[in-house]
């Protein structure tokens, strides 16, 4: 009696629910590198190298822990390319009599897992993924009967549930949210920690060679590959972050600086999302730093909010919204994604900085994703599916459950406000306030029209004008529409013409 336990590429946790309580002697874990996973979007080379290498290392770790692991490589000539195909082959190989799997992280894979019971002649058990604080039923019961879903109220419930940063029933420090203290621009003279660089070992080098050969035309460089690919190394990055970057994390969370891709961010999302790190364990370690007086409350609270607030909330929204969420296009945006999103070749310095570091590291921090690449796509009216597929392809931490609500909902407002109460639209002034990008740009952030004018300025007003019917009634958009109404007609015409001329250059 053998139970086959398929372990997917984002299920690299020793405490995975499908492994719990199993008898190692009668189970075979199946792991497979698959064409269907490497091809559904053109993934960044480093993203693929990271996930495949982490999978191979995890298989070794599981073997060391006494499990039998059947591992199918991408280059195996018999590899069918799909998990269902590999499961069929493995059932035969091992004469397995049962399948036990942890639930999928996204709709596409859920449909595949759900089809197994009909397809195979053995019982299929699908277990809940307990690596999240909030399960599907709990989110549904929280969302039910609410007119508006807002992260802040969900987050407070998660604080109460986890007891993180709580003084009895009250939030530590007397406030739930210290975001008002977290919007400082950074200065270049501040000492900046660089994330740990993990030199590729033999396994990672093999994977990198394979990826470079098989996916030569995909975006991305692997020359600077330095991700951790084991839990042990991911824990080192966690410890490094807690010590060196967490204390000022809150203050400079929204800051951007030229040639500084990482600032005080944790660079832990790839490890959280594959399962190498545990989110609650990480948050407890952050809380311990605060309790030991080593980090201020705005840093500890700000970080914990990202993980038990935003991360859990976007997952809840993803499943709540259903598989058709991806088709939302509330602002009717139809322009194709400009080529420079793949090459970084643009005179707009903020965009070239963000895309160039994405090419080099498969990483950009939140404000770059939201207020540079996301904001530009929003203002320019880029088709949200194109935007979504780009984010899904280029970041090492990108899985649809977390990427889609962030890109389509938060950054493109394509869900009409299900996730965010207003569009994150901003002119060049915001970028100038939060970064030093404008000082070395060929455009002038202070100019609104003319050949040197920063494109974000006219595009911003074009966005406001173009979407008037859809956005004017939103109370949080009252100020921009008040300013638009105050503007002279000639200025409005000049701004819209400037924006149109620029949009024509995008092709």
Ligand X SMILES: Cc1cc2nc3c(=O)[nH]c(=O)nc-3n(C[C@H](O)[C@H](O)[C@H](O)COP(=O)(O)OP(=O)(O)OC[C@H]3O[C@@H](n4cnc5c(N)ncnc54)[C@H](O)[C@@H]3O)c2cc1C
Residues making up the chain, counted from first to last: 507
Residue 189's CB: how many other CB atoms inside 10 A? 6
Identify which of residues 307 and 382 has a Cβ nearer to ligand X in the complex.
Answer: 307
Identify which of residues 97 and 449 has a Cβ nearer to ligand SF4 in the complex.
Answer: 449
Partner whose footprint covers residue 441, from ligand SF4, ligand X, none (CB < 5 to 8 Å by kind): ligand SF4
Identify which of residues 81 and 185 has a Cβ nearer to ligand X in the complex.
Answer: 185
In sequence order, what E strands does 108-227 have? 124-127, 166-167, 170-171
Q: Is 96 helix (H, G, I), strand (E, B) or coil?
A: strand
User: φ and ψ at 335, to 5 degrees?
Assistant: -70, 140
d(CA 23, CA 37): 29
Asked if residue 365 binds ligand X (CB under 6 A), the reply is yes
Asked if residue 289 binds ligand X (CB under 6 A), the reply is no
- Segment near ligand SF4 (CB under 6 A); pick from 166-174, 183-191, 384-392, 432-440: 432-440
Asked if residue 456 binds ligand SF4 (CB under 6 A), the reply is yes
- From the list 282, 382, 445, 471, which residue makes contact with ligand SF4 (rule: CB under 6 A)? 445
Asked if residue 438 binds ligand SF4 (CB under 6 A), the reply is yes
Partner whose footprint covers residue 273, from ligand SF4, ligand X, none (CB < 5 to 8 Å by kind): ligand X
Q: What string of DSSP letters covers 385-452?
A: HHHHHHHHHH-TT--HHHHHIIIIIIIT-TTTTSS-SS-----HHHHHHHBSGGGG-SSBTT-SSSTT
Asked if residue 349 binds ligand SF4 (CB under 6 A), the reply is yes
Question: Contact letters (x/-) for ligand SF4, 300-319, by CB under 6 A?
Answer: --------------------
- Contact present, 454 and 447 (Cβ < 8 Å): yes
Asked if residue 431 binds ligand SF4 (CB under 6 A), the reply is yes
User: φ and ψ at 262, to 5 degrees?
Assistant: -110, -30
- Segment near ligand X (CB under 6 A); pick from 129-137, 286-294, 333-341, 403-411: 403-411
Q: Report 244-283 residues binding ligand X (CB under 6 A).
A: 265-269, 272-273
Q: Is 275 helix (H, G, I), strand (E, B) or coil?
A: coil
Asked if residue 437 binds ligand SF4 (CB under 6 A), the reply is yes
467-470, Cβ contacts within 8 angstroms, sequence gap of 24 or more: 467/331, 467/423, 470/330, 470/331, 470/416
Question: Contact letters (x/-) for ligand SF4, 105-144, by CB under 6 A?
Answer: ----------------------------------------
**Residue 163, token pair as written in the block:** 């007891």
**Residue 90, token pair as written in the block:** 């493995």
The percent of the chain in helix, strand and coil, each rounded to the nearest 5, is: 55, 10, 40
Identify which of residues 2 and 266 has a Cβ nearer to ligand X in the complex.
Answer: 266
- Segment near ligand X (CB under 6 A); pick from 115-123, 153-161, 228-236, 299-307: 299-307
How many residues belong to the site for ligand X (CB under 6 A)?
28
Residues 6+ apart with CB under 8 A from 164: 283, 284, 287, 304, 308
- Tell me 165's DSSP state: T
Partner whose footprint covers residue 19, from ligand X, ligand SF4, none (CB < 5 to 8 Å by kind): none
Identify which of residues 70 and 278 has a Cβ nearer to ligand X in the complex.
Answer: 278
Alpha-carbon distances of 229 from 69, 202, 232, 276, 395, rounded to whole Å:
18, 12, 9, 8, 16
Asked if residue 410 binds ligand X (CB under 6 A), the reply is yes
Residues that bind ligand X (CB under 6 A): 265-269, 272-273, 303, 306-307, 310-311, 314, 365-366, 369-370, 374, 391, 395, 397-398, 402-403, 406-407, 410-411
Residues that bind ligand SF4 (CB under 6 A): 348-350, 428, 431-432, 437-438, 441, 443, 445, 454-456
């Amino acid at each position: 009696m053998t139970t086959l336990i398929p372990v997917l590429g984002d299920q690299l946790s020793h405490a995975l629910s499908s492994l719990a309580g199993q008898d190692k002697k009668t189970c075979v874990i199946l792991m497979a590198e698959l064409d269907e996973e490497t091809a559904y979007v053109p993934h960044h080379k480093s993203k693929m190298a990271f996930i495949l290498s982490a999978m191979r290392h995890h298989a070794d770790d599981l073997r060391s822990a006494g499990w039998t692991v059947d591992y199918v490589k991408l280059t195996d000539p018999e590899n069918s390319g799909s998990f269902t195909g590999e499961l069929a082959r493995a059932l035969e190989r091992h004469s397995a009599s049962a399948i036990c799997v942890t639930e999928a992280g996204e709709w596409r894979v859920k449909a595949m897992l759900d089809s197994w019971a009909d397809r195979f002649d053995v019982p299929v058990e699908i277990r809940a993924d307990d690596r999240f604080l909030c399960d599907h039923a709990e989110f549904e019961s929280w969302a039910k009967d609410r007119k508006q879903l807002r992260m802040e109220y969900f987050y407070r419930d998660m604080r109460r549930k986890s007891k993180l940063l709580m003084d009895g029933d009250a939030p530590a420090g007397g406030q739930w949210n210290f975001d008002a203290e977290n919007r400082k621009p950074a200065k270049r003279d501040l000492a900046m920690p660089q994330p740990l660089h993990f030199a590729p070992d033999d396994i990672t080098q093999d994977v990198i060679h394979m990826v470079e050969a098989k996916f030569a035309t995909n975006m991305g460089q692997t020359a600077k590959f330095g991700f951790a690919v084991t839990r042990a190394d991911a824990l080192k990055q966690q410890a490094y972050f807690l010590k060196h970057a967490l204390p000022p994390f809150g203050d400079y969370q929204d800051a951007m600086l030229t040639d500084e891709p990482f600032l005080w961010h944790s660079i832990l999302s790839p490890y959280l999302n594959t399962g190498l790190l545990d989110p609650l364990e990480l948050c407890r370690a952050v809380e311990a730093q605060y309790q030991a007086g080593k980090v201020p409350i705005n840093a500890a609270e700000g970080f914990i909010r990202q993980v038990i607030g935003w991360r859990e909330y976007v997952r809840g929204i993803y499943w709540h919204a259903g598989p058709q969420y991806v088709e939302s296009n509330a602002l009717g945006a139809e322009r194709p994604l400009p080529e420079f999103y793949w090459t970084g070749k643009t005179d707009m310095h903020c965009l070239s900085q963000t895309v160039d570091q994405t090419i080099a590291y498969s990483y950009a921090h939140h404000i770059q994703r939201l207020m540079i690449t996301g904001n530009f796509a929003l203002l320019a009216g880029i088709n949200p599916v194109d935007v979504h597929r780009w984010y899904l392809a280029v970041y090492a931490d990108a899985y649809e459950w977390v990427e889609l609500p962030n890109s389509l909902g938060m950054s493109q407002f394509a869900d009409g406000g299900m996730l965010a109460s207003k569009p994150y639209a901003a002119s060049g002034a915001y970028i100038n306030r939060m970064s030093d990008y404008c000082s070395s740009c060929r455009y002038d952030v202070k100019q609104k029209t003319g050949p040197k004018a920063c494109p974000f300025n006219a595009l911003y007003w074009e966005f406001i004008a173009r979407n008037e019917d859809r956005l004017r009634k939103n109370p949080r958009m009252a100020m921009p529409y008040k300013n638009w109404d105050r503007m002279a007609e000639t200025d409005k015409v000049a701004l819209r013409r400037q924006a149109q001329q620029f949009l024509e250059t995008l092709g």
